[in-house]
Amino acid sequence: MRDEAFRREQDKERYAPHVRPINEMVDALREPEGRGWMPYVAPWHGGAAARVLSVLRDPGPKTLEGAGSGFLCVENDDPTAELQAQIFERAGIAPDDVTPWNAYPWYINRSPKAAELQAGAEVLKRLLGLMPRTEVVLLQGNEAQDVWRRLLKAHPDVVRDRTLEVVSTYHPGQQALFVRDPEERARRAQHRIDSYQKVGDALLSTTRRL
């Protein structure tokens, strides 16, 4: 997103057919909800056609319009996005395989509270309804895993008739590695890599069956 031409292209295509349903939902969930601003999903990603839904905690500063790109994207100019892009590529996961999302999708830049995660679960329900091709849900971090549990408790029917593989791991931000024990840091870092690879293997397995 440092590349102005790339960023302009994302903005120009923000209502392209594959992302239109999601980004129109984002429009509807902005200020009228009273919760503030929410970034779009970049058309660089798979949008409604994605096979992987990747859930983090909340949108970071580099998703902001003006200060950042205005989009959720692994090409955002921040270390968390960069790490995801690198590990996705190593695992054979293309950008259009994935739709990025957050447990609390409005911009707060802090840990969401319980009531906010509950609101996030309601939005996640709507999002899954727009993504019929999703095969894998990648939950990165405690909040992502929390919001998934809330979704299953409140709306078990959302996933009842779908075959979804759920992969849980640590958040790709540096804070996930803020532990004193170097062996534990290494274990967490490797767990993230292994989890992304599990997602890549799941996609490859489905492709071979088809």
What tens digit of pLDDT does each residue of 44-78 get? 999 999 999 999 999 999 999 888 999 999 999 99
Helices (H), the chain: 4-12, 20-29, 79-90, 114-129, 142-154, 157-160, 182-209
In a domain, 210, yes or no: no
- Tell me which of 31-45, 58-72, 130-144 is least confident: 31-45
Q: Report whether pLDDT(128) > 80.
A: yes
Q: Report whether pLDDT(209) > 80.
A: no
In a domain, 141, yes or no: yes
Q: What is the pLDDT of residues 13-24, one digit of tens each?
A: 999 999 999 999
In a domain, 148, yes or no: yes
In a domain, 209, yes or no: no
CA–CA separation, 13 vs 128, rounded Å?
22
Q: What is the CATH number of the domain that holds 57?
A: 3.40.470.10
Tell me which residue range forms the domain holding 178. 4-204
In a domain, 66, yes or no: yes
In a domain, 28, yes or no: yes
The end-to-end CA distance of the chain, in Å, is 35
The tally of domains found in the chain comes to: 1
CB 199 within 8 A of CB 167: yes
Query: Between 186 and 161, whose confidence is greater?
Result: 186
Q: Which DSSP state fits 174?
A: G
Cβ count near 64 (within 10 Å): 15
In a domain, 112, yes or no: yes
In a domain, 98, yes or no: yes
What does the pLDDT read at residue 205? 80
Q: Which DSSP state fits 77?
A: S
pTM attached to this predicted model: 0.94
